Structure formats: structure tokens, C-alpha cells
């Protein structure tokens, strides 16, 4: 039983990271019906900007240092997200969806390839500096929680609460939900869809950057290709929750994290990456609209 | 109508003659490096044209061609190392026996890949949208990771000792078969149904087209030829490693199809040849700077193409249709 709770703790902390990334996928899919492949790369850039910021800003000491690095790289990645949207996706707003999808793929590949060039990040992995001391925080009946796990879960939950308020309790959130519900009608109601889409990219990218920092803290090996697998799993999380649905992405992320932690704990760690893929196939076969998604009848 | 039938037979015969002639006249691939590159270009033509069936003709987006290639390549190679090197067919000479078994191996590789295509395609093609891209991407990665961990497949070091049975003749022959298959498919009722799905899936469904069935069949055919290409590659290089089937390989094939103009077989052929020769031409640059710029170039090509000329080089036109139009007096043509 102790073992089970330990896996539960690990799974929740892993799942909260997946959830943060999945939110970006799901929000962009909501407003644009586009799988933003480049999102995984924004996550990677978040980890790397954290790495560089941490090495350039030694002045800040322990506690505030983490917060400064976190907020600065969130800001940087928000900017990157907007730039990607402006130059790669906006020119294709009215072209077939397949073209937009290929463009998204191209952006993702380009960022990865450029990142691997020696004058940028280089192909070899870097090691993320320990911004926070990692020690056992508390231990109840043999179940240990480390500070990193607590910080990961805590920051993710705080960010998600913030996002929830932003989407469901502000004017911008209402505009975003309107665009996601029906972009054209939203435009007729006086909502500037381009602005809403740009802001959506901003918020999603900032969350991905936060996830990048949190991953960097717990798994210090960072490299330009780190986004691929994590991005894929986060996308599966978004599909599991029902793509386009914000609460779904949170639940989906947590579920994928928990299932993966259980699979590693009770099964074998070599099938760790197959778990998410298996879940994806199951979702596609049995309930393609996801847990919270509604089956949409397409109208002509 | 009869003239059309005759003409298509003439095409097949001409193609076969050309294949025979080319493989008889050209020096063998094991002797000269340029011929070796020609062989690789032929394999890439098979890959590009087979992916064209899914990405160009049916308008779906598969990102895991390398995965199916790996399934076919490893199946055929395993057959080669286990059967061809050990057993010979009775009553016939060794080279003939090897050739027959090799042909069986390519078919086996294709069949295995086709089967994989069925199981991957069925759940993801039932749905509209972009799930196929994600599922195929994941599938290709899983295949690669599995190969890396399975001892009998050579794990990460690769499967060695595959008999070197692929020559230019077999590559050209399979390329011809693939191109003819795609061409005839495109011009058949089946192909029209696929094009209808590409243009408007809802309308196609309303017209009574079983969209899922057609998509899955197209996907299986595409996977079959990808598997054949993988089999040919294995017997060509005599070694297969998981590094041959990375995401980069899938992307390469996608770039070929997109560059050629999604929906054009001749465009895919052209782009496949171009993208095989281009890295060879860029080799001095790579050796000089020590940086592998392939991925950057592919990605930039893809982006530039989508933003500036989404139709690709040839759009949906075919070289042979253009020739035919020029030969005939301008008359009312039914739009392809």
C-alpha cells in the first residue's frame, strides 16, 4: 500500500507537468483547430531559457531565483509563441488545414534542427542547475514527498487555477471561448479573433515554459530534442481529456502521469513510452471525443 | 476505350523494357558510387510515390513512413539471414534460388508492413482530422525503440549479414510497379473516390463513399510499398540499424511529397530524385563545416513551400498528362 501511495505521488507530480503542456495544445486547438506541433519546442525552449537565465543571473539567491527564472522564461516563451503564430500560422489562416498542419510540423522541425546546431544549444545534453534544494519534505507512513515534487505540483496547480480564472472569469476568457465556439460569429460580434489567437498562443506558451522549468528541475538532462516525446505524451493527454476542452486537458494530463507512474512502478520501465501511445489507441477506438469532449456532428 | 487499354499496356511494356535495358547497360551499384546513389534514388522514389497515395491522393497526413519501412525491412532481412543464407530451393541453381527467395522476402516485407498499416490505420482513419499524423508518428517511434531493444533484430548495433541481393534491376522494377500502381489507382474509380475524400470528406460520404474503408485500403497499399522499399534497402545496404528509420527519414519522405506538389506522382518522383542527389551535392559543405544541415534544409524547404508556393513544384499536374495535352490538339479536356 505504501508503494502504491509513493507511485501516486510520483504520478501526480509528473502528471501536473503533462497537464501544463496539454493545456497549450488544447487551447490552440480550440481556437484554430490546429495541432500546434511547435508547442513541444516551445516547452524545450522554456527549459533552455531557464538554463541560460540561471547561469546569467547568479545575483539572485535561492528562493527568489527560482521565481525570477520561472517568470522570465515564461515571458520569453510567450513572446516566442506570438512570433511563431504571427509569421508561420497567420499567413495560412484561410488555407487548407493540411497546409497549416505541415507548417506546424515544419516550425517544430526547424526549431529543433537549429537548436542542434553547435552555435546554438548544440546536440549534446546540458545539465539544468539545481535552483532549489532537493530534499525530502515530509514523509507520512513511509510515503516520501520531496520538495521538488511539492514545488512542481504546487506551481502547476497554482498556474492552472490562474488559467481557470483567466478563461472562465475574465472578458478575455469569454472572448477566447467565443472564438473557440465559433470563430466567424465571434468576429461578427466585434471580437478581434487575431488578437485572441495571439493571446492564446501567449498564455499556452507561457505554461509550456513553466513546464520546461519544472521538468528541468526534476530531470536535469535537457537537450534540443527533449520536447518530442514529452510533447507527444502531452498531446495524448489533451486527446484523452477531449481536445479543445481545458478541464479535460488537466484531467488528461494527470491521468497519463498516474498511469505512466503505475506502469513504471508495477511493470517495467522500458515500456514507459509505449503507455501513452497505447492509451491514445484505446481512446481513438472507444471514445475519440475524449473524457469531457462532446461528439460533434459536423454540419455542412 | 480500346485505345486507352492498348495505351496503358504500351506504357507497362515500355516501362519493363526500360527497366531491363537500364539495368543491363548501367554498371552495377556495388561497383560505382554514382550508381549506388541511383539505387538509393530508386528506393526513395518507391517511398515517395507510396506516401503520395496517402498524403497526396487521399489528403490524409501520415508521418510514420519510416516505421512501416522498418517493419518491412526487418521482416525481410530476418527472412534473409534465417532462410536465404541457410536454405536453398531444390533442383535449381543457387543464384536462381536466391533470387526467388529474395523476391519472396520483399513480398513478405511488404505484407508485414501492410498488416501493420491496417492495425495503425483502422483506429485513426475512422476519425476525421489530424489524428493519423500523431498516431503514425508515435507508431514509428515505438517501432524504432522496440527494434533497439530486441536482441534478435540486432538491437542498437544493427542487423548484419543480410545477403546483398538488391541490384538496380529489382529497384527499378519495384519502382515501376509502384508508379504504375499509383498511376492506375489514381485514374480508377477507386482513385476518384480517394480524390473525393481529399476534396471534401463530408460530401464524399454523402455521395455514398465508404470513406473509412477507402482510406484504410489506401493506407494499407501505401504501407505495403513502404515495406517493400525497406526490404530493398536492407538487401541493398546489407545492414539495417534503427538509425536508418528515425523521424528524420519519415520527414524526408513527407518533404518529397510536399515538394513535388501533393497530388502529383511525377512531382513526387522528381522531388525524390532531387532530395537524394541534393545531400550528395552538399556533402563537401557538410564535411567542410562539420555540421549536418540536412534537417535545417528540409524544415526550411517545407516551411518556404507552404508559405510561398503551397502547390509544390508540379501542383496536381502529371508530366505525362502535360505531354499528352501538348500532342493532341487543344480540345475540351475533362479536368483531372
Q: A127 - beta bridge partners? A: A221
* Distance between B163 CA and the closest CA of chain A, angstroms: 32
Residue A297 placed within a domain: no
Is-contact B319 B266, C-beta < 8 A? yes
Which one of A98, A109, A298 has the shortest CB-CB distance to B202?
A: A298
H-state helical runs in chain A: 2-32, 39-56, 62-84, 97-116, 147-169, 171-181, 183-188, 193-218, 226-241, 246-266, 272-286
What's the pLDDT tens digit per position in A256-291? 999 988 888 887 776 777 788 788 878 877 887 888
CA distance B135 to B219: 13
Which domain CATH number covers A267?
Answer: 1.10.3470
* Distance between A186 CA and the closest CA of chain B, angstroms: 23
pTM listed for this prediction: 0.82
Residues of A in contact with B135 (CB under 8 A): 280-281, 284
Say whether pLDDT at B29 is over 70: no
Residues of B in contact with A94 (CB under 8 A): none
Which one of A107, A109, A232 has the shortest CB-CB distance to B295?
A: A109
Q: A221 - beta bridge partners? A: A127
pLDDT of residue A63: 56
Residue A300 placed within a domain: no
Interface contact flag, A98 B254, Cβ < 8 Å: no
Q: Which residues of A touch B (CB under 8 A)?
A: 35, 88, 91-92, 95, 97-99, 101-103, 105-107, 109-110, 112-114, 116-118, 228-229, 232, 235-236, 239, 270, 273-274, 276-277, 280-281, 284-285, 288, 298, 300
CA distance B13 to B145: 43
pLDDT of residue B299: 85
Which whole-number Å values give the CA distances from B239 to A251, B99, B173, B184, in the listed order?
A: 45, 18, 22, 34
pLDDT of residue A298: 59
CB-CB neighbours of B31 under 10 Å: 8
pLDDT of residue A300: 55
Task: Give residue A223's domain range.
Answer: 2-286
For CA atoms B186, B192, B193, B199, the dihedral sign is: positive
Q: How many percent of chain B have pLDDT more than 90?
A: 17
Residue A292 placed within a domain: no
Average pLDDT over residues B203-218: 90
What's the pLDDT tens digit per position in B221-258? 999 999 999 999 988 888 888 888 887 788 888 888 88
Domain count, chain A: 1
pLDDT of residue B221: 94
The rounded mean pLDDT for chain B is: 82
Q: Which residue of A has its CA nearest to B254?
A: A102
H-state helical runs in B188-242: 189-199, 201-206, 211-237
| ipTM reported for the complex surpasses 0.95 | no
Give the residue, A248 or B145, on which the prediction is more confident. A248
pLDDT of residue B330: 52
Residue A295 placed within a domain: no
Say whether pLDDT at B329 is over 60: no
Q: Quick one: residue A243, left, alpha or beta (phi over 0 = left, psi -120 to 50 = alpha)?
A: beta
Residue A282 placed within a domain: yes
Average pLDDT over residues A129-145: 75
CA distance A215 to A211: 6
How would you classify the pairing of strands A143-146 and A136-140? antiparallel
What's the pLDDT tens digit per position in A182-229? 888 888 988 998 899 999 999 999 999 999 999 998 888 888 888 888
Nearest to residue A272, comparing CAs of B124, B149, B137? B149
* Distance between A105 CA and the closest CA of chain B, angstroms: 8
Taking each helix axis from N to C end, the angle separating B168-187 and B94-125, rounded to the nearest 10 degrees, works out to 40
Taking each helix axis from N to C end, the angle separating A226-241 and A39-56, rounded to the nearest 10 degrees, works out to 130
Say whether pLDDT at B328 is over 80: no
- Contact residues for A57 (Cβ-Cβ < 8 A; gap 6+): A65, A68, A69
For B318, phi then psi, to 5°, come to -115, 145
Sort B323 into a burial class: Cβ within 10 Å, 0-12 / 13-18 / 19+.
Answer: exposed
Residue A291 placed within a domain: no
Residue A100 placed within a domain: yes
What's the pLDDT tens digit per position in B285-318? 777 776 777 778 888 888 888 888 777 777 777 7
Residues of A in contact with B124 (CB under 8 A): 284
Average pLDDT over residues B165-179: 86
CB-CB neighbours of A56 under 10 Å: 9
Torsion, Cα A248 A251 A254 A260, to 10 degrees, reads -70
Residue A255 placed within a domain: yes
Say whether pLDDT at B269 is over 70: yes
Is-contact A211 A217, C-beta < 8 A? no
In our burial notation (b when 16+ CB lie closer than 10 A, e otherwise), range B227-244 reads: bbbbbbbbbbbbebbbeb
Residues of A in contact with B126 (CB under 8 A): 284, 288
pLDDT of residue B23: 73
What's the pLDDT tens digit per position in A201-212? 999 999 999 999
Residues of A in contact with B247 (CB under 8 A): 228
Say whether pLDDT at B155 is over 90: no
What's the pLDDT tens digit per position in B85-144? 667 666 777 777 778 888 888 999 999 999 999 988 888 888 766 778 878 887 888 888
Give the residue, B71 or B18, on which the prediction is more confident. B71
Is-contact A172 A200, C-beta < 8 A? no
Most distant CA pair in chain A, distance: 60
pLDDT of residue B90: 67
Residues of B in contact with A118 (CB under 8 A): 291
Say whether pLDDT at A146 is over 90: no
The rounded mean pLDDT for chain A is: 85
What's the pLDDT tens digit per position in A34-92? 888 899 999 999 999 998 888 877 665 555 778 888 899 999 999 999 999 999 888 88
Cell numbers representing residue A146 in the block: 520531496
Amino acid at each position: 500500500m505504501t508503494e502504491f501511495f509513493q507511485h501516486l505521488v510520483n504520478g501526480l507530480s509528473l502528471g501536473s507537468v503533462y497537464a501544463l503542456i496539454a493545456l497549450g495544445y488544447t487551447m490552440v486547438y480550440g481556437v484554430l483547430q490546429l495541432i500546434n506541433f511547435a508547442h513541444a519546442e516551445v516547452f524545450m525552449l522554456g527549459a533552455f531559457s531557464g538554463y541560460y537565465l540561471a547561469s546569467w543571473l547568479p545575483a539572485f539567491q535561492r528562493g527568489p531565483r527560482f521565481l525570477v527564472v520561472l517568470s522570465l522564461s515564461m515571458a520569453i516563451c510567450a513572446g516566442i509563441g506570438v512570433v511563431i503564430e504571427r509569421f508561420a500560422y497567420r499567413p495560412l489562416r484561410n488555407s487548407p488545414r493540411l497546409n497549416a498542419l505541415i507548417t506546424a510540423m515544419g516550425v517544430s522541425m526547424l526549431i529543433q534542427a537549429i537548436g542542434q546546431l553547435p552555435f546554438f544549444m548544440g546536440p549534446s545534453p546540458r545539465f539544468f542547475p539545481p535552483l532549489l534544494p532537493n530534499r525530502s519534505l515530509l514523509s507520512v507512513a513511509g510515503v516520501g514527498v520531496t520538495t521538488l515534487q511539492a514545488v512542481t505540483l504546487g506551481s502547476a496547480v497554482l498556474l492552472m487555477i490562474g488559467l481557470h480564472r483567466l478563461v472562465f472569469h475574465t472578458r478575455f476568457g469569454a472572448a477566447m471561448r467565443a472564438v473557440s465556439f465559433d470563430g466567424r460569429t465571434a468576429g461578427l460580434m466585434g471580437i478581434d479573433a487575431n488578437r485572441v489567437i495571439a493571446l492564446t498562443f501567449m498564455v499556452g506558451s507561457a505554461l509550456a515554459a513553466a513546464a520546461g522549468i519544472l521538468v528541468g528541475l526534476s530531470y536535469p538532462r535537457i537537450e534540443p530534442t527533449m520536447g518530442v516525446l514529452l510533447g507527444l505524451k502531452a498531446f495524448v493527454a489533451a486527446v484523452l481529456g477531449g481536445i479543445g476542452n481545458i478541464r479535460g486537458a488537466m484531467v488528461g494530463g494527470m491521468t497519463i502521469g498516474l498511469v505512466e507512474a503505475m506502469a513504471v512502478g508495477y511493470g517495467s520501465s522500458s515500456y514507459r513510452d509505449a503507455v501513452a501511445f497505447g492509451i491514445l489507441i484505446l481512446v481513438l477506438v472507444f471514445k475519440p471525443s475524449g473524457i469531457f469532449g462532446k461528439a460533434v456532428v459536423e454540419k455542412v | 476505350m480500346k485505345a486507352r487499354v492498348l495505351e496503358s499496356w504500351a506504357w507497362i511494356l515500355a516501362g519493363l523494357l526500360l527497366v531491363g535495358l537500364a539495368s543491363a547497360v548501367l554498371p552495377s551499384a556495388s561497383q560505382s558510387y554514382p550508381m549506388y546513389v541511383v539505387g538509393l534514388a530508386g528506393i526513395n522514389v518507391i517511398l515517395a510515390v507510396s506516401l503520395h497515395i496517402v498524403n497526396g491522393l487521399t489528403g490524409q497526413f501520415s508521418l510514420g513512413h519510416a516505421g512501416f519501412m522498418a517493419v518491412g525491412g526487418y521482416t525481410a532481412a530476418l527472412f534473409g539471414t534465417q532462410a536465404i543464407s541457410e536454405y536453398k530451393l531444390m533442383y535449381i541453381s543457387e543464384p536462381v534460388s536466391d533470387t526467388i527467395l529474395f523476391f519472396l522476402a520483399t513480398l513478405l516485407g511488404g505484407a508485414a508492413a501492410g498488416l501493420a498499416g491496417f492495425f495503425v490505420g483502422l483506429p485513426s482513419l475512422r476519425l476525421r482530422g489530424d489524428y493519423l499524423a500523431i498516431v503514425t508518428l508515435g507508431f514509428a517511434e515505438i517501432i524504432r525503440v522496440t527494434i533497439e531493444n530486441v536482441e534478435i533484430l540486432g538491437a542498437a548495433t544493427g542487423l548484419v549479414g543480410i545477403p546483398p541481393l538488391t541490384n538496380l534491376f529489382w529497384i527499378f522494377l519495384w519502382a515501376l510497379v509502384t508508379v504504375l500502381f499509383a498511376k492506375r489507382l489514381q485514374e480508377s474509380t477507386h482513385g476518384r473516390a480517394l480524390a473525393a475524400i481529399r476534396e471534401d470528406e463530408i460530401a464524399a460520404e454523402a455521395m455514398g463513399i465508404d470513406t473509412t474503408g477507402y482510406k484504410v485500403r489506401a493506407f494499407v497499399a501505401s504501407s505495403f510499398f513502404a515495406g517493400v522499399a525497406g526490404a530493398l534497402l536492407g538487401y541493398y545496404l546489407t545492414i539495417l540499424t534503427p538509425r536508418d528509420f528515425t523521424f528524420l527519414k519519415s520527414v524526408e519522405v513527407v518533404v518529397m511529397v510536399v515538394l513535388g506538389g501533393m497530388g502529383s506522382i511525377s512531382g513526387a518522383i522528381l522531388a525524390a530524385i532531387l532530395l537524394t542527389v541534393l545531400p550528395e551535392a552538399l556533402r563537401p559543405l557538410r564535411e567542410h563545416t562539420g555540421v549536418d544541415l540536412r534537417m535545417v534544409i528540409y524544415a526550411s524547404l517545407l516551411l518556404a513551400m507552404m508559405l510561398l508556393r503551397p502547390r509544390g513544384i508540379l501542383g496536381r499536374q502529371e508530366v505525362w498528362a502535360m505531354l499528352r495535352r501538348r500532342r493532341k490538339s487543344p480540345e475540351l479536356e475533362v479536368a483531372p
